[in-house]
Amino acid sequence: MVEFIKSILYGIVEGITEWLPVSSTGHLILTQGVWPFSGDVSSNFSDMFNYVIQLGAIFAVIVLFWNKLWPFKMPDKGAKILSVDTGVFKKDQWVLWFKVLVATLPSAAAIVLDSKIESVMYLENGQPRDIGLIVISIALVVYGIAFIVVEKLNKNRQFKVSATADITYKTALLIGLFQVLAVVPGTSRSGATIIGALIIGVSRPVASEFSFFMAIPTMFGVSALKIVQFLSESSFSPKEIGILAVGMVVSFLVSMLCIKKLMQYVKKHDFAVFGYYRIVVGLAVLAYFTLR
C-alpha cells in the first residue's frame, strides 16, 4: 500500500514538473532520494518508472490538443476513404507533425549519450549517486539564471513567431538542438526547448505549445526504449504494473490541469519566476551536501 502512495506522490510531481521548465526528472529523483521505492519492487524498476510515468503526462497533451494534432478528418459521405481529393488528410496538421519530427531528430541522435550519462549519474538500482544530485542542482541553478537573463533581454521584445503554424523547419531544427541539452539531468526538456525558442524569437505561448508537441515522439521513444531495457533484464510483477499504472493515471490528471494553467499564465507573464524557483531549489540541495 505504501508503494502505491509513493506512486501517487511521484505522479503529482511528474504531472506538475513535466510541463513547467523546472526538470521533471530532477524533481522525481530528488523526491525519490527522500522517499524511495522499497525492496517490494525490483532494483531496476525505479529508473524505468521515472521515464514511463511520463506517458501519462503525454496523453494529457494529446487529449487537450487533439484538434491541432489529429491529422485526419471524416471523409464526405459516400466518398472513397483512400482518396486524397476527399479531404481526409488535414494538411496543416501533417505539416506540424513533420516539423515536430524534424525537431526531435537531434535528440534521437543523442540517445547514446543519454545512456552514458546515466551510467555515471546513477547506481545500478536506479538511485542517484551523490555526483548525480550535485549535477542536477547545478543544472537547476544554471538554467534558472539563463531563464532570468533571457527574459530580461526579451522585455518589450516583439517576437517574430506568434503562431505555431509560423514555425519553419529551420526554426524547428534549432529548437530541437536545444532539446539535446536535456540529456543532463536537472536541465529540463521543456526548459531547454523553451529557452531555445525564446532566443530564436518564438513567443512564449507558441514556445510552450511546440515544446508540448515535441514531447510526444520524444517521450514515447524514450519510454519504449526503457521498457525494452527493463524487460531484457527482468519482468514486471503484478504489483509493479499496478504501481506504474497508478503513477501514469495521476500524472495524466495533474497534467491536464497544469497545462491549462500554464498556457493561461504565459499569455500574460514571462518565465522568470521559474528561473528564481530553480535557483532556490538548486541552492537548497547544494547546501544540503555542503552541510551534511
Between CA 11 and CA 282 the distance in angstroms is: 21
CA–centroid distance for 117 within its chain: 18
Asked if 211 contacts 197 with a C-beta cutoff of 8 angstroms, the reply is yes
Sign of CA dihedral 71, 77, 81, 84: negative
Asked if 184 contacts 117 with a C-beta cutoff of 8 angstroms, the reply is yes
pLDDT in tens, 144-200: 999 999 999 998 889 999 999 999 999 999 999 999 998 888 899 899 999 999 999
pLDDT value for 32? 81
pLDDT in tens, 212-238: 999 999 889 888 888 888 888 778 888
CA–centroid distance for 35 within its chain: 22
Asked if 43 contacts 235 with a C-beta cutoff of 8 angstroms, the reply is no
pLDDT exceeds 70 at position 247: yes
pLDDT in tens, 253-275: 999 999 999 999 999 999 999 99
